[in-house]
Amino acid sequence: MAMIDLQSLEPYHLACLAIAVGMLVWDTVEVGRNDAANLVNAVFGARILTRRRAIILAGVAVVCGAVLSSDVIDTARKGIFNPTALDHLNTALAIYVSVYIVDTVLLYSYSAFGMPISTTACLVFELLGASFALQASSVNWGKAGTVISGIVCSIALSGFAAFLIQRAARGAIRGKTSSLGTLLLHGGWVGGGLAAGLVYFLLLKGMKHVPCVHSFNAWLSELDDNADVRISSAVIVLTLWGLFAISIHLALVVFRKRAARLLFPVLAMFGMMAMAFAFGQNDLANCASPGLSAFALISKQNLEIGTEVRISSWMLFVCGFLLLVGMSSKNAERVTKAAVSTGSMGDHVALWAPQWCVRAAEYFLRFRSKAPALAPRASITPAGKTMHYDSLRACVIMSVSASVIATASSLGLPVSTTYVAFAAVVATGMADRIFQRGDAALKLGRAIWVVFSWFASAAIAAIAAGLVALTVHRFHILGMVACILANLAVRQILKRRADLQAQLVKEEAYERAHPERFAQEDEGV
């Protein structure tokens, strides 16, 4: 990407450049606070790794995925709306800038309350709202519909697959995830199937642009063209499944209890890295796209040429590093803990949901079966931490999520890591019947509140981006300054409210977990 002669730029373009670059950094950090926090949910919830170590491991994979970004980045750059259909370069810049002004405050606000939100969905609706407000004819409704349909389908696919796989695996292994005898019978086909799915969807689909993978796929196509040889995707997956199943069984025979103890934790960590890599290819490409696109437009001063400039790998590498910074923040920890608690197999959780969501959950729970929960009881680690998942469930969550996201990346479709991962968490919980005991109404109520908030975020993103785009386009630099000040003011107001809510949730959870202590206090004992 060419360098820009700053002295030759008019003040408005210089301001847009400064805000686009600055907000690119800001937005990438915000994505790390929210979306990327979901990458470590399962591994952290199962206490396989500490959150810090999980973040470092996932961060490396995110950076690698960002550098090998797929065609997804072009969807936000010129897929939702067509920059060449706009009447002026300034209109395109106003759209990209307004997207960041809204996205940074929206992501921060949701993260402060521990609510998972989708960068992809927000970005799509922000682009729709901003481009529709400035020039409706530039909106690519067909592509927008395809992207939204892809997001919805990915949620359904993740939830459906996670439920079936978790129920099958749990039925075979139950709570004996480290029992050598049980794993000698079932560890091969369960672990082999999860590993086969990850390798196929991540390597052969998600990394199809990598030269060695591209060459392998081309070789398979040549074989497939031969009338005597037909190698379908099913054949490849089954072959991988068989190879992994044999390898796992041999490891169990040779290394015995040590292999049994490490099987599912290792697979869960592998799944986390696969999901992080897929995230770097998909969601990170989305959040980087508006800023890098604005940079390209200003450097070329041409709508048609600017949207075709290739985004350099080093820029995406920097974005991946910034995302790692966001993953280490306090708000990211809130998102992780809240998501883990929503799908926890423990009886008592620290969560908040509106009363109408809790009442709705109580109504739905009337129709649950009387069958006992399949999930084992939550245990306490030697460090005094609650184990919200077991390693088997962590494997299923990570494997399904990574496979769905990698497949979408291979098709050039931006999907939501947050939505896909959350669907897998809730679906595996339903398969394990975690809503049969404990704070079931609160956990289900929280899930209802999260889904409702997804729809709310789409409406907020579109309307707010449209208003900001009109303000920036009409008042130029003054409009940008006013919108950024409003952004900062909203952040401060919501931060105070979020901190108060976090403290209240902690106190209420302690009271539910130890009712006898509060009863004694009320009696004056």
Q: Give whole-number Cα distances, 11 to 1, 8, 19, 211, 212, in Å.
A: 22, 9, 12, 43, 46
Q: What are phi and psi of 370, to 5 degrees?
A: -90, 0
Give, for all 525 residues of the chain, the pLDDT tens digit: 556 666 677 888 889 889 888 888 888 888 888 876 778 888 988 999 888 888 888 888 887 877 765 554 555 555 677 777 887 888 989 998 999 999 999 999 999 998 988 887 888 899 999 999 999 888 888 878 888 888 888 899 999 999 999 999 999 998 899 999 999 999 999 999 999 988 887 766 556 666 666 666 666 666 655 545 455 677 788 899 999 999 999 999 999 999 999 999 999 999 888 888 877 776 666 677 777 778 877 877 776 655 555 666 777 778 777 887 888 877 888 888 888 889 999 888 888 999 999 999 999 999 888 888 898 888 887 777 888 889 999 999 999 988 888 777 677 677 788 889 899 999 999 999 999 888 899 999 999 999 999 999 999 999 999 999 999 999 999 999 999 999 999 999 999 999 999 888 888 777 766 665 655 544 444
Q: Which tens digit of pLDDT belongs to each residue from 46-77?
A: 999 888 888 888 888 887 877 765 554 555 55
Task: Look at residue 1 and tell me if it is in a domain.
Answer: no
Task: Look at residue 211 and tell me if it is in a domain.
Answer: yes
Q: Which tens digit of pLDDT belongs to each residue from 431-462?
A: 999 998 888 999 999 999 999 999 999 999 99
> Cα–Cα distance between 365 and 342 in angstroms, integer?
15
3-state SS string for 336-403: HHHHHHHCCCCCCCCCCCCHHHHHHHHHHHCCCCCCCCCCCCCEECCCCCEECCCHHHHHHHHHHHHH
Task: Look at residue 70 and tell me if it is in a domain.
Answer: yes
What angle do helix axes 515-522 and 440-513 make, rounded to 10 degrees? 50
Q: Does pTM top 0.85 for this prediction?
A: yes
In this structure, what DSSP letter does residue 81 have? Answer: B
Nearest alpha-carbon partner for 134 in 88, 197, 180: 88
The whole-angstrom distance between residue 477's C-alpha and the CA centroid of its chain comes to: 34
CA angle 336, 393, 113 (to 5 degrees): 15
The whole-angstrom distance between residue 79's C-alpha and the CA centroid of its chain comes to: 21
CA angle 395, 276, 418 (to 5 degrees): 80
Residue 267 near residue 43, CB atoms below 8 Å: no
Give me the number of domains the chain comprises: 1
For residue 41, the enclosing domain spans 6-522
Task: Look at residue 187 and tell me if it is in a domain.
Answer: yes
